[in-house]
Amino acid sequence: MNLHEFQGKQILSSYGVRVQRGHVANTAEEAVTVAKQLTEETGTGWHVIKAQIHAGGRGKGGGVKLAKNLDQVKEIAGQIIGMDLITPQTPPTGKRVNKVLIAEDVYYPGDSEISEFYMSVLLNRATGRNMIMYSTEGGMDIEEVAEHTPHLIFTEEIDPSVGLQGFQARKIAFNLGLSGGAFKEMVKFVDALYNAYVGCDASMFEINPVLKTSDDKIIAVDAKVTLDDNALYRHADYAEMRDVTEERPIEVEAKAAGLNYVDLDGTVGCMVNGAGLAMATMDLIKYAGFEPANFLDVGGTADAKRVEIAFRIILKDPNVKAILINIFGGIVRCDRVAQGIVDAYKNMGDDIKVPIIVRLQGTNADLAKQIIDESGMPILSAIEFQEASDRVKEALS
């Protein structure tokens, strides 16, 4: 689950990570109110207005702007709220901005002693360990740094049995070229950041930039936080931070129905039980010369109700030209699944306008094929993988 910057900063702050302080606002008027409040709390006269969307690169797209007085706060917040912000990480049409973060200006005017660093915490799947990635080249596109100057990106792996060690945090501060007060601050920052990562069951933190101010404070100016969905049951307060307006509506609906659905760009809709079979089915579609329109794992209980919900979700995608149902009947018997498909088809009547290819394999597969063939419905059945692939080809050519 992705969070907004302001939510990520709330979590970081609760673990003692120093963050650029701010308050969120939904309207230009509210922006002025919270800006005044922020001035009282921090003494800042200048504010940064930051669009809150689930995508980075906002600065480049005009979603991060400096306001030097309250009139400018109102004007800029008014411009940003409601805009469709286009950044390298949004869809080409952009993302609608519903909220802004009014933050203290931490780049003190005329300041030449500041530095921007990059820091992320993530899992290295190859070694099964968390690692901290960091670079002196903060504030810019880290992909560019990785491509052109990879030697400027460092990594520090953490042994899960002992956690982040003091010498590691010091090494990071050292490699970032810090000394004196800034060095000590960075050690504290890294330590708190790692505690936060583990404590909130995150799967990714990306802080770009981490700022060193002229008075040697280390501050998280940005916060991209992804939490592990599978651990959310341990964090009811974080689960409430989910912003479904940022997610694809079709995926939200599928999730509510307990289906594992990922929208893709192709034309062949897939309905499969089990993630492994779903991947194999997508390969099969590609092998037949087409592209899958989605990944969809209906899980263990492929009854009529679930099949129907899955049908409806797949059919919401206007690109779908055919649907391939590929179900392995292990615990669930194929004939019952077949009946479920036929019932769902009957229920949906005219809503289904694309060819359906069904491959059922496993317990009672022959009986299942018979049910489908005898249903009188325009459903093509197959038992072998190759057959299914041929049917898809026939249906689409």
Phi-psi region of 128 (alpha: psi -120 to 50; beta: other; left: phi over 0): left
Contact with ligand GDP (CB under 6 A) among 19, 64, 365, 379:
64
Mask of contacts with ligand GDP, 288-317, x by CB under 6 A? ------------------------------
Residue identified by tokens 């360990």 is: 129
Contact region for ligand GDP (CB under 6 A) — 24-32, 105-113, 237-245, 270-278?
105-113
Which phi and psi (to 5°) does residue 212 adopt? -105, 120
Comparison of 222 and 335: residue with beta carbon closer to Mn ion: 222
Comparison of 56 and 269: residue with beta carbon closer to ligand GDP: 56
Indicate the helix (H) or strand (E) that contains 135: strand 129-135
Contact with Mn ion (CB under 5 A) among 116, 156, 191, 222:
222
Neighbour count for residue 92 (Cβ, 10 Å): 5
Note if 287 is an active site residue: no
Contact with ligand GDP (CB under 6 A) among 191, 222, 263, 308:
222
Three-state secondary-structure class, residue 218: strand
Cβ 260 to ligand GDP shortest distance, Å? 29
Position of minimal CB gap to ligand GDP: 59
Contact with ligand GDP (CB under 6 A) among 209, 269, 274, 329:
209
Q: How far is CA 210 from CA 57, 185, 224, in A?
A: 15, 12, 12
**Largest interatomic CA distance in the chain:** 81
Contact region for Mn ion (CB under 5 A) — 152-160, 188-196, 205-213, 360-368?
205-213
**Under the criterion CB under 6 A, does residue 221 sit at the interface with ligand GDP?**
yes
Cβ 50 to ligand GDP shortest distance, Å? 6
Comparison of 59 and 299: residue with beta carbon closer to ligand GDP: 59
Which phi and psi (to 5°) does residue 118 adopt? -115, 135
What residue ranges in 177-321 does DSSP mark as E strands? 202-212, 218-220, 224-227, 260-263, 268-272, 294-297
Q: How many residues in the shown chain lie near ligand GDP by CB under 6 A?
A: 17
- Of 104, 137, 156, 206, which residue is the catalytic one? 206
> Which pair of structure tokens corresponds to residue 6?
């302001």
Cβ 139 to ligand GDP shortest distance, Å? 4
Note if 247 is an active site residue: no
Residue identified by tokens 């500041």 is: 114
Indicate the helix (H) or strand (E) that contains 166: helix 166-175
**Under the criterion CB under 5 A, does residue 104 sit at the interface with Mn ion?**
no
**Under the criterion CB under 6 A, does residue 106 sit at the interface with ligand GDP?**
yes
Q: How many residues in the shown chain lie near Mn ion by CB under 5 A?
A: 2
> Which pair of structure tokens corresponds to residue 194?
């790692």
Residue identified by tokens 């993988």 is: 385
**Under the criterion CB under 6 A, does residue 215 sit at the interface with ligand GDP?**
no
**Under the criterion CB under 6 A, does residue 48 sit at the interface with ligand GDP?**
yes
Which phi and psi (to 5°) does residue 105 adopt? -75, 120
Q: How far is CA 396 from CA 151, 173, 306, 322, 389, in A?
A: 49, 59, 26, 7, 11
Cα 205 from Cα 11, distance rounded (Å): 11
Neighbouring residues of 234: CB distance < 8 A, sequence distance ≥ 6: 201
Comparison of 47 and 359: residue with beta carbon closer to ligand GDP: 47
> Which pair of structure tokens corresponds to residue 159?
């042994």
> Which pair of structure tokens corresponds to residue 360?
């059922």
Question: Is 96 flagged in the annotation as binding?
Answer: no
Partner whose footprint covers residue 107, from ligand GDP, Mn ion, none (CB < 5 to 8 Å by kind):
ligand GDP
Comparison of 66 and 275: residue with beta carbon closer to ligand GDP: 66
Question: Is 57 flagged in the annotation as binding?
Answer: yes
- Of 118, 134, 197, 261, which residue is the catalytic one? 118
Contact positions toward ligand GDP, by CB under 6 A? 20, 48, 50, 56-59, 64, 66, 105-107, 139, 208-209, 221-222
